[in-house]
Structure 1
Amino acid sequence: MQNRPVFILAIESSCDDTAAAVLKNDKVLSNVVANQAIHGEYGGVIPELASRAHQQNIVPVIDAALKRANVQKEDLSAIAFTQGPGLMGSLLVGSSFAKSLSLALGVPLIAVNHMQAHILAHFIDEENFDKPEFPFIALTISGGHTQVVKVNDYFDMEIIGETTDDAVGEAFDKSAKILGLPYPGGPLIDKYAQLGNPKAFAFTKPKVPGLDFSFSGLKTAILYFIKKNVAENPNFIEENRDDICASIQHTIIEILMDKIKMAVEQTGIKQIAIGGGVSANSGIRKTLKEAESKYGWKTYIPKFEYTTDNAAMIGIVGYQKFLSENFEKSDVVSKARIAF
């Protein structure tokens, strides 16, 4: 491959964040994200509103990414974009722009799997952050996904466990909604959990065979628990908020850790990496770091800004695909669901 630097412009638009990043090889020069606050009014992401906001945000976000990186569009080696999974309307905004820019500049187009990008974010060159060695176990946890993945190489990944219903991020957000907390509620549960007693209230962990997960039963148990106690004491949530949040978070973390321990036993792999928006949760990060000494694992936790949806993680996948000349034609299609 050529010796001159590779400059990748990456675009991420899978849900409600419009993001663009510029990478020089595996180093991030800029990473810009525009959030969509409007969804908070509705308690969740509204797909039509999300795609309209992407259309408004994409040009200024890409312009900002190029300016912060001090890179001219003529210097770009390739354009990478999120192909899926995600909301179709949102994905189409990003892919359409990427295709147009690739054609206008005469540079390769690279399609990226959003879930692979969460895993490969660990390979961004950052000071004080180690990169995992193959093979390793990845736990990808987000609002839409919960997966245990055996990662043999950059693009040799096998899902060995996943949720059968709700994703873990959904479990956090729906539990927060039951408690009357605003959307997105997951970060608020984390915030209040740090002030409470994680063993104040006991919630039954679902019995799911193998490495798969289920969170719908836990969500229902929390709903009935709150309804019962509020009926007896209308101020129950207000008086016990921190302890309730701590107990919910403790239960969810135990569910995740049980499956990781099982995955280590089954595969013999003791390198564990987490990714996805829920990996920003302080309780999960703390528990995983403690597991290094407790179980003899080597754990990898990405830089905070690379956990939630961002374009830097799309860019690092784009860089790896560029090295192997894994390019797409302009007729490549976006996919709301996409396999590894």
Structure 2
Amino acid sequence: MRVLGIETSCDETGVAIYDNEQGLLANKIYSQVKQHAYYGGVVPELASRDHQSKIVPLIQSALSEAGLKMKDINGVAYTAGPGLISALMVGATLGCALAYACNIPNIAVNHLEGHLLTPMIDAEPEHYPKFPFVALLVSGAHTQLIAVSGIGQYQLLGESIDDAAGEVFDKTAKLLGIDYPGGLILSKIAQKGIVGRYKFPRPMTNCPGLNFSFSGLKTFAANTINNLATRDAQTYADIARAFEDAVVDTLTIKCRRALDNTGLTRLVIAGGVSANTTLRVRLKAMIEQRGDEIFYARKDLCTDNGAMIAYVGMVRLLSYQYRTLTITVRPRWSLEDLTAV
């Protein structure tokens, strides 16, 4: 059985084909980064227009790579939320139209569930993270800790009360003069920074609970930069290092607390920021010290992509969870609202 997955929640157009026996057959991604960089952030109307122009060629390319035609597809999965409503509508309307034309099911997929289950895409079933586990979902739009009892069985433990971790990475990068989206470049610069020259706070780590707050780090970075006596590449690298260490330490402390509070011994990290090398190293060290287990996807599947949508679509199609032709998108859609498989 094969599912075509369509991802258009923000500024990446993703198309993939997943086979329940052969795995991932094709995965195509078009990034709009260069277009939005001019404006310093994502412009929703431009994003939706770009999805419209790129989505059909990407579908054709994915089918060609897999050596398939639409008659060989058994279901169409699309991101129904959360995300930008105008961008979501592109994938939803095309997904439903294709399903109708081919007389096959369409599956509305939660974007966050796609990220959360991404570590299972390439792994053999015996290497899947066994339920239950704690998941850290960390991206440009979300920073959440979730207790996962099974597919579709999610309990939110904590989340950011302001900026997401990925968002504050990009905002701090902009303060350092790095073009949007600068989070990845900031991390590369941080590798050249001197540890300890600057000390940033670890927000909300000294109070109980599992919520996050990152907007204060951005303000702290802004004040530090504004008060600099000298502005050279090394100083900026030192600030980048201090900032990244603060974010990573905060995430690590909260993950340890979540494991302690739940009594669970497995941690899954997912989302765009989960590709951050420093975060992976620190979390792995913490988990190994505890004797627990950690799971994450390969780095090219951490950002928004069609593969995760096709995979979740397959899981829910095999459980007979698919929609009628009614097109529904949800810009806000909590994981806790999903149906268990």
What TM bracket, shorter-length normalisation? over 0.9
1:130–1:300 CA contact under 8 A, matched in 2 = no
Aligned match of 1:139 in 118, 136, 139? 136
2:252–2:286 CA contact under 8 A, matched in 1 = no
The aligned amino acid for 2:27 is N
* CA–CA separation in structure 1 for the residues paired with 2:274 and 2:36: 22
* CA–CA separation in structure 2 for the residues paired with 1:198 and 1:252: 14
Aligned to 1:35: 31
1:288-333 C-alpha deviation (Å, 9 max, x unpaired):
2222322222011211121000011111111110111001011131
3-state SS of paired residue (1:61): helix
* CA–CA separation in structure 2 for the residues paired with 1:159 and 1:152: 11
* TM-score normalised to structure 2 length: 0.94
Aligned to 1:3: none
3-state SS of paired residue (1:300): strand
2:78–2:107 CA contact under 8 A, matched in 1 = yes
User: How far is 1:72 from its partner?
Assistant: 1.4
1:20-65 C-alpha deviation (Å, 9 max, x unpaired):
0001116100110011120011111111110010000000111111
Correspondence list, 1:102-141, <5 A: 102-126=99-123, 130-141=127-138
The aligned amino acid for 1:114 is H
Task: Kindly indicate whether residue 292 of structure 2 is the aligned counterpart of residue 293 of structure 1.
Answer: no
3-state SS of paired residue (1:330): coil
Aligned to 1:262: 257
With 34-43 and 193-202 compared, the bigger mean Cα shift is at 193-202
Aligned to 1:23: 18
Aligned to 1:217: 216
Aligned match of 1:196 in 170, 193, 198? 193
* CA–CA separation in structure 2 for the residues paired with 1:218 and 1:241: 15
Aligned to 2:277: 282
Task: Kindly indicate whether residue 239 of structure 2 is the aligned counterpart of residue 251 of structure 1.
Answer: no
* CA–CA separation in structure 1 for the residues paired with 2:195 and 2:89: 42
User: How far is 1:76 from its partner?
Assistant: 0.7
2:189–2:240 CA contact under 8 A, matched in 1 = yes
Q: Give structure 1 stretches of 5+ with no counterpart.
A: 1-5
Correspondence list, 1:62-211, <5 A: 62-126=59-123, 130-207=127-204, 209-211=208-210
Q: Note the aligned Cα RMSD (angstroms).
A: 1.5
3-state SS of paired residue (1:220): helix
* CA–CA separation in structure 2 for the residues paired with 1:128 and 1:152: 17
1:162–1:211 CA contact under 8 A, matched in 2 = yes
1:18–1:54 CA contact under 8 A, matched in 2 = yes
Instruction: Call closer, same or farther: CA 1:126–1:134 in 2, change over 3 Å.
Output: closer
The aligned amino acid for 1:69 is A
3-state SS of paired residue (1:38): helix
3-state SS of paired residue (1:255): helix
* CA–CA separation in structure 2 for the residues paired with 1:317 and 1:128: 15
User: How far is 1:125 from its partner?
Assistant: 3.2
Task: Kindly indicate whether residue 226 of structure 2 is the aligned counterpart of residue 227 of structure 1.
Answer: yes
**Identity of paired residues, percent?**
40
Instruction: Call closer, same or farther: CA 1:20–1:338 in 2, change over 3 Å.
Output: same
In the TM superposition, structure 1's runs of 4+ consecutive aligned residues that sit over 3 Å from their partners are: 125-130
Aligned to 2:322: 327
Instruction: Call closer, same or farther: CA 1:219–1:128 in 2, change over 3 Å.
Output: farther
* CA–CA separation in structure 2 for the residues paired with 1:245 and 1:131: 35
3-state SS of paired residue (2:127): coil
1:129–1:302 CA contact under 8 A, matched in 2 = no
Aligned match of 1:315 in 306, 310, 313? 310
User: How far is 1:285 from its partner?
Assistant: 1.2
* CA–CA separation in structure 1 for the residues paired with 2:323 and 2:124: 32
User: How far is 1:129 from its partner?
Assistant: 9.9
User: How far is 1:127 from its partner?
Assistant: 6.7
User: How far is 1:205 from its partner?
Assistant: 1.8
1:74-108 C-alpha deviation (Å, 9 max, x unpaired):
01110000000001110000001001000000000
Q: Give structure 2 stretches of 5+ with no counterpart.
A: 336-341
The aligned amino acid for 1:46 is V
The aligned amino acid for 1:306 is L
Aligned to 2:56: 59
Task: Kindly indicate whether residue 10 of structure 2 is the aligned counterpart of residue 11 of structure 1.
Answer: no
With 34-43 and 122-131 compared, the bigger mean Cα shift is at 122-131
* CA–CA separation in structure 2 for the residues paired with 1:174 and 1:153: 35
* CA–CA separation in structure 1 for the residues paired with 2:314 and 2:274: 24
